Structure 1
Amino acid sequence: MRRIITVEEHFDFPDSQTIPEQTEPENDAHVNPKGNDPALVTTLLANFDQKLAYMDQYGISLQVLSDPNAVASTITDKQKAVASAQRTNDHLAQKIAQYPGRFAGLAVLPLIDPEAAAEELHRSVTELGFKGALIGGVPFGHFLDEPQYLPIFEAAEKLEVPIYLHPGMPSKAQRELLYESPSYSDSLAGMLGSAGWGWHAEQGVQMIRLIAAGIFDRFPNLHLVSGHWGEMVPNFLERLDEFIGKIPTPLERKFSDYYRQNVFVTASGMFTKPQMQLAVTEMGADHVLWAEDFPFLRRKQQVTDFLEAADLTDKQKDQIAFQNSQKLFGLAK
């Protein structure tokens, strides 16, 4: 049986010592990221015994865990944000230690203070054994190409760990402008502005901006991870090369060169043949990772069956199933 490592899997630590602050972008009233059975998702986010039982039932060797909705990443008080991030990361480290070899962690960062976020990334990797960090959405309405976030990427490169860029909810103003219409329902607008399109379009823009800003010229050994088959970017690599190539830029290489060398894409539970074929064609099987997006998605037997049935060589399947993740995240073989 082929080893399976999934790398966009989630946990939740409410951090009862911190009162969550209301920040943009707020969730749409018509979209519940926990789906039709929020009670089950809530349980599976927190209960590690049930996570393990699910993994054993469906042939998953290891999950790389993260919290894309962490309280710490939304707090505007710097001291409180740091304390919350530390509590969350310590909690996850304690849980991982209880299940040797089955889980790995990505750090939650106090994004209101990028310098402190870099320090927490260093602590999480060197003291807690974490394998990188996850950043969700556009923190406080600021894209990550802005100079204040450079310490986070500098720390990641020095530590030789990746940063996973995860979608977040676009702002209310963006959703109203781009997705609301008198021609269809608010619930449809909510879905278009979130899981159907909006989350992913925004995160694709995030990646495009980072590359355009020269993040990989500044940090050539930095690696970023992009879910949902690359959040639409692989589909436009040739287009980006052509039109960026028509104007002078300070970039040292083509857009697609940076993307193919420094970015890894994951399935995020989108087990669909056309998207997989595009990702493997554009990126190569050595830059594709497996992921289920558990427990928000629970693909069950499809986690293993879809990959086994894919029109790929055994070598490519091994790369995607576990080898690429072992190398990128420094996981035990």
Structure 2
Amino acid sequence: MRIVTLEEHVSFPEMTKLIPADILGNKKPSGAATLMMPKLVDITGERLNSMNDSGISMQVLSVENTDVNLLDSTLAPEFASKYNNLLAEKIKDHPERFTAFAHLPMTAPEAAADELERTVKTYGFRGAMVKGLTNGDFLDAPKFAPIFERAEKLGVPIYIHPGVPPDAVMDAYYSNIGNNTGPFDPIACWGWGWHSETAIHVLRLLVAGIFDTYPKLKIIIGHMGEMLPIMWDRSNKSFQPGNGGQNQRTLIDTFRQQLYITTSGFFTQPPLQIALDTIGIDNIMLSVDYPFSSNQMGIDFLNGIQLPPEQVAKIAHGNADKLLGLQP
């Protein structure tokens, strides 16, 4: 069976070296990213061998780090363009195995929209991945409208991935825990905070009317829906049209039409069942979160899904092929 995975990461140290030292400051890659750096750098070595061994047909690659967000609107566009050019160069000899989401200069939204269009038209990239907040701003801020407008025009999705919480959030919610005065990363990031913040991000887009303004826009989120499926009914009741938000449709109607989720890093069946019962089979796509999860973990999970073969095929590749315009 054809298998496509969508949240698979790369990072190229030669690009990080282009960030001026005074801008980079004390910011360093996470411990997990540092440990995984050899795997993040690699594309056609161990990564491709692992794909072959596990039966993965194609990975959609995206840049793991958010160095571009450290740069202001004058420097970010060129940096993002160089990163995308390098990524395109590294995958060009394996078009049947790799494609990518663009790395965007979010501090310069107009340039980000242009870079999205350039990478889609020049390299065949399948959309863009945006990581967390940009200088503390969520994507419902009016300045980001050009990105949504262009994505809708191009017919490509925006993948919203968690990012490191802003310092104020770190201080207020994730620091001073017991005798530990510093931030506790597992709560702030992969253990909880990342996922709740991404859910908030999507809910803000709903309440701000972004989905209604751009009714053909498609948004992807990972990690089995970033907690939204478990809150499905309660949130739907809370965010009804006319309850103070700008949304013209219910959460359920909007998300089933415009929101897609991936399984990245979630490899047990109960969360999948909740997702199936809420957002539905046509909106769920397989992802691994490589190299932070192994390709084999994703395949073992896929093989354990107790659904008819045609429905498993939708999760494995059919929904992704349709959404991203991939040619099997």
TM-score with structure 2 setting the length: 0.93
After alignment, is 188-197 or 202-211 more displaced?
188-197
Which residue of the partner structure matches residue 318 of structure 2?
323
Cα 1:210–1:68 shift into 2, 3 Å: farther
- Runs of 4 or more, structure 1, over 3 Å off, are 184-188
What is the match of residue 209 of structure 1? Answer: 204
8 Å contact from structure 1 (residues 68, 166) kept in 2: no
Q: Per-residue displacement from partner, 1:135-185 (whole Å, max 9, x unpaired)? A: 001011001000000000000000000000000011222122112344364
Q: Say which of 246, 249, 269 aligns to 1:253.
A: 249
Q: Size of the alignment, in residue pairs?
A: 323
2:189 corresponds to = 194
Q: Tell whether the 8 Å contact from 1:68 to 1:135 is kept in structure 2 after alignment.
A: no
What is residue 276 of structure 2 aligned with on the other side? 280
Partner Cα separation in structure 2 for residue 142 and residue 249 of structure 1: 18
How far apart in 1 are the matches of 2:274 and 2:280?
9
| Aligned counterpart, 1:310 | 305
- Would the alpha carbon gap of residues 225 and 277 (structure 1) be closer, same or farther in structure 2, given more than 3 Å must change? same
Equivalent residue in structure 2 for 1:241, among 209, 218, 236:
236
User: How far apart, in 2, do the equivalents of 1:32 and 1:186 lie?
Assistant: 19
* Matched residue, 1:11: 10
Q: CA deviation at 1:186?
A: 5.7
Output the aligned Cα RMSD: 2.0
Q: 2:327 aligns with which of 307, 315, 332?
A: 332
Which is further off, 180-189 or 95-104? Answer: 180-189
Which residue number in structure 2 is paired with residue 133 of structure 1? 128
Task: Report the Cα offset of residue 127 of structure 1.
Answer: 1.0
Q: Which residue in 2 is equivalent to 1:107?
A: 102
Report if aligned partners of 2:175, 2:182 keep a CA contact under 8 Å in 1.
no
Letter in 2 for 1:193: A
> In the aligned structure 1, how far is the partner of 2:163 from the partner of 2:28?
9
Indicate if the aligned counterparts of 1:10 and 1:68 stay in contact, CA closer than 8 A: yes
Report 1:3-42 matches (<5 A): 3-14=2-13, 15=15, 16-19=17-20, 21-22=23-24, 32-34=31-33, 38-39=34-35, 41-42=36-37
Unaligned runs of 5+ in 1: none
Query: One-letter code of the match for 1:127?
Result: T
Report the AA paired with residue 110 of structure 1: P
Give the Cα separation in 2 of the matches to 1:292 and 1:56: 14
Asked if 1:57 corresponds to 2:53, the answer is yes
> 1:297 offset after TM fit, Å?
1.8
Structure 1 residues 8 and 308, CA gap change in structure 2 (3 angstroms):
same
**Corresponding residue of 2:160:** 165
Distance 1:143 1:182, change over 3 A: closer
Q: Please give the alpha-carbon distance, in whole angstroms, between the structure 1 residues aligned to 2:278 and 2:28.
A: 33
Change (3 A) 1:328 1:309: same
**2:118 is aligned with 1:117:** no
* Distance (whole Å) between structure 2 residues aligned to residue 152 and residue 126 of structure 1: 15
- 1:217 is displaced (CA, Å) by 0.8
**Counterpart residue type for residue 252 of structure 2:** S
Distance 1:253 1:27, change over 3 A: farther
CA-to-partner distance for each residue in 1:293-330, whole Å, 9 max, x for gaps?
101222x4232221122121111100000011111111
Distance in 2 of aligned mates of 1:275 and 1:187? 32
Residue 70 of structure 1 and its aligned partner are, at CA, apart by: 3.7
